Structure 1
């Protein structure tokens, strides 16, 4: 069989998927995405011997992959099929691993342009499903995986032209770093120093809609103790404090303001926070509380990309400062006072919902949210005048008493060292009531 015949066979196989529609059965749709992804390495290899006309047709074929992927995303079964999500993610990822050279190659040959466009499509697909993947500790443990992460980091390091690959990479890293289990991966592949440099040069390195991406990535790294340690080695706090939020440059200056405040709190140790109230104004506190409320009301417990556990973690750390805690409950702004009451009601509701499932569905974020909420109530219970907030709520008290006696001990590998466990928090709340 000559090369032209082989390419025609590949194109014929791709064309079969063009007939897939959203009304097809779930099984057919699932098979289609599996088959077309396993075909795609063959598509990328076919370009080596393709004529100009065949290359043009192969380029158009990306639309078929996009079509199949879009149909899969629209189906209810997809979000629930964790094995399929992992299969799609790692099939796409492994194709990137096998074409790592494209991140280092600057030659604009027709072949490289074709590979580049396919790599960007695959990264876009990966970015869109990252939040659904149940990652495991052994993921990305191969040397080739590490080499890919290093290559895409170095591509951004060396790019000052806002190229399309950089745009795709920064979105991929942004979403991937949101998964706390993967923070050590980014540390081990040299991202901490690079991200700090990206923040310094972001106005010439990234397009307008991605200017804040490296700041969000830094925030993601600071949600892990190892990330905090590494960021402090590189004096990330100074870099964050030097950032100016200018309305004419950023789509949402408030979003940037709150993330800078959250990063500052996460990178600052508790003893420093206890003695420094000035850096956390009423405006900042109100923004953090409002973010918690908006996320709590959302079906996925997210708002503007932040899971409710993120601002709550910051609030817990800030509540070690008695002045900040008192000011949150009793400042001069009526809106703030009503917001904290609403937040407490929502947190009790969330705790009631999540605690009943703890250790059953192994949802790390939901389990960790229980940890954070009970830490928050423990800090509140340290102050006699606020204890009735807890004692007067029967549902909350039942959970606290249950947590003390629960034989199941929930351990979150990525729980910050400053957090008490569920059992410890519950115990200390009850001790405060007896004091």
Structure 2
């Protein structure tokens, strides 16, 4: 008899399919509750609780996980229904949810959860929130829930016990927490697919956070809701850790909102909970060029520094580190107060030590930060002259241990540059390591120590001969400048090289146009000669060497560009081949321009400077005057050219046709060039040819007067 009952029990045990069917009933049953429904719902809860372990053992890992995620999705939907508190409060639900939640946490934290599988779980959670705008229903339910304890009201053990019970806000907090864990493991397959699917979800999350932080009374904050907000902010923090996803958050307005959140009273009064995620989001957004520009435009650095005392008062090491990294990422000015300088220097020292720690870690991580991110921040920090000198100058030793560390680190990682399918994070780490070495090589006193490492010298020389290695080529150019002894100046054909930041191209084009009207000296400008891509430095560097005059168009964007720092350093190092008085001319592109960076002041303080004027033509005239191109010589030059044109026209009726049919100078396509082939001659001949055509075209298409001569 007992055997018969046991057999019947085994047969009636629910399978995962029958259990799913029962779970599906929950939504219908919970929508119109009555006493009989409560009993059936409790039976379903008990069935789930009793069969989790058995079904887990019967199914493979992935199948069982997705099965229980499906159950969790349904439970969350059921919990969001108005009036569901009566279900959530029952012991059967509490036991079931606790066991289900524990099982999912175990899977994500203990089991070997692959990135692709974590991505599947994340998709399941996000889609559940997106379908039927369920996330909006959840947030309305959260904001309308009045059963939650408030800070300062929990006083007795009995109340603590009540506080620890599962309720809807805690369900949402933990649900978002599971998504957080998945994000940290997952590899996002496609940012475009993510954007199409979940941009609306990111906007809903932003609106909910904003509604809470900007409208709630910070004296009566509901504890549960505060932790839900923190969980959502942490999710955004983890998502913006993915470089590819950052543009999505920039496009959906997270920069402006993050700044507003920092300024709220709730942030100030609960900085211990909200500080880390919000400041980390800002730091992550700054890793994108557009994001960095927007954050700097909105003076986010100054806003952060207003919260510095609050950060200090917390005496929280992790929060201080996060704050320091964001400050370094956003700093735009060397001219900081001594107090701020000390903070930035201390943070830079921590970053350097973290780099060393990460290098010793199997996963290349320190405090949760990958080596690539730490090197990127250190690269940003080194744009401040006082930081790089502080870190590199080891007063106890004649040779800097720091410089040798970076050289050795490069020797252990440079193979990534040769790998056809490199790890993306390692590739990014090497990218910023090379940029740091380039920064070091821009200081002659540090470069000498760098090239004492023979192996480093050989590897840099070898890599510089390969295509698409712009920063390495820049390092090699710096090395060559220090290795080649001073030689007497040689007579060179006049040529102007113009250095500018790409964001100022519109101004640059107008300036070049005006300059060509006033000077016959050939002008070399990159957008006319090379495609703007990685690998153009071999063209630019040789042109700088050949230029008799270099014009620097300085702006805020130019000052903030680390690439321009390297270019300007190289220009200064090669200036010995030019006229000391007029070989380098600075043109400011903004009224009341401020250098902001001490490195630029140090390099340019004694150079000729043309102030900004609303009339670009007037600025071009001032440049010509500084170059020694007087109005009288300009008129004389124009007369000679006109006579030559007239003479050739008389000699050949086909001059115009020949001129018009002459081939247009073509740009050099950097990516197609052989790495061992030098192109100095081609560059110069192309630029001269183009300049002559521009002058001739100007003479033939414009009408004006020079003295008593009318010309066309």
> TM-score surpassing 0.5?
yes
Shorter-chain TM-score bucket reads 0.7 to 0.9
The answer to whether the 8 Å contact 1:100/1:148 transfers is yes
Paired residue for 1:368? 428
SS of corresponding position for 1:223: coil
Paired residue for 1:185? 248
The aligned length equals 408
Question: Which residue, 260, 266, 270 being the options, matches 1:206?
Answer: 270
**Structure index of larger Rg:** 2
Q: CA deviation at 1:242?
A: 1.5
Task: State how 1:386-405 maps to structure 2 within 5 Å.
Answer: 386-387=446-447, 389-393=449-453, 396-397=456-457, 400-401=460-461, 403-404=463-464
Question: Which residue, 141, 146, 152 being the options, matches 2:196?
Answer: 141
SS of corresponding position for 1:360: coil
The answer to whether the 8 Å contact 2:376/2:432 transfers is yes
Provide the C-alpha distance between the structure 1 equivalents of 2:185 and 2:236, rounded to a whole number of angstroms.
15
Paired residue for 1:35? 67
The answer to whether the 8 Å contact 1:126/1:172 transfers is yes
Provide the C-alpha distance between the structure 2 equivalents of 1:7 and 1:151, rounded to a whole number of angstroms.
36
Task: State how 1:323-402 maps to structure 2 within 5 Å.
Answer: 323-332=386-395, 337-338=400-401, 340-341=402-403, 343-344=405-406, 347-348=409-410, 351-352=413-414, 354-355=416-417, 358-360=419-421, 363-387=423-447, 389-393=449-453, 396-397=456-457, 400-401=460-461
Cα deviation digits, residues 264-299 of structure 1 (max 9, x gap): 443245xx45x7796544434323312222232233
TM (norm. structure 2) is 0.50
Provide the C-alpha distance between the structure 2 equivalents of 1:42 and 1:252, rounded to a whole number of angstroms.
39
1:83 aligned onto 2:116? yes
Provide the C-alpha distance between the structure 1 equivalents of 2:441 and 2:178, rounded to a whole number of angstroms.
46
SS of corresponding position for 2:314: coil
Q: CA deviation at 1:76?
A: 5.8
The answer to whether the 8 Å contact 2:406/2:433 transfers is no
1:117 aligned onto 2:117? no
Q: CA deviation at 1:343?
A: 3.9
Paired residue for 2:140? 104
SS of corresponding position for 1:134: coil
Cα deviation digits, residues 373-410 of structure 1 (max 9, x gap): 11111222233443355445466456545644556x6x
Provide the C-alpha distance between the structure 2 equivalents of 1:205 and 1:304, rounded to a whole number of angstroms.
26
SS of corresponding position for 1:61: helix
Gaps of 5+ in 1: 410-422
Cα deviation digits, residues 103-139 of structure 1 (max 9, x gap): 23322278xx854333211111111232222123221
Further displaced range: 187-196 or 11-20: 11-20
Question: Which residue, 217, 235, 247 being the options, matches 2:299?
Answer: 235
Alpha-carbon distance change, 71 to 320 in structure 1, aligned in 2, over 3 angstroms: closer
Question: Which residue, 467, 472, 475 being the options, matches 1:426?
Answer: 472
TM (norm. structure 1) is 0.78
Q: CA deviation at 1:85?
A: 1.2
Alpha-carbon distance change, 330 to 198 in structure 1, aligned in 2, over 3 angstroms: same
Provide the C-alpha distance between the structure 1 equivalents of 2:257 and 2:212, rounded to a whole number of angstroms.
9
Paired residue for 2:669? none
Provide the C-alpha distance between the structure 1 equivalents of 2:437 and 2:88, rounded to a whole number of angstroms.
65
Further displaced range: 122-131 or 258-267: 258-267
The answer to whether the 8 Å contact 1:14/1:36 transfers is no
Provide the C-alpha distance between the structure 2 equivalents of 1:76 and 1:390, rounded to a whole number of angstroms.
46
Provide the C-alpha distance between the structure 1 equivalents of 2:327 and 2:268, rounded to a whole number of angstroms.
25
The answer to whether the 8 Å contact 1:245/1:257 transfers is no
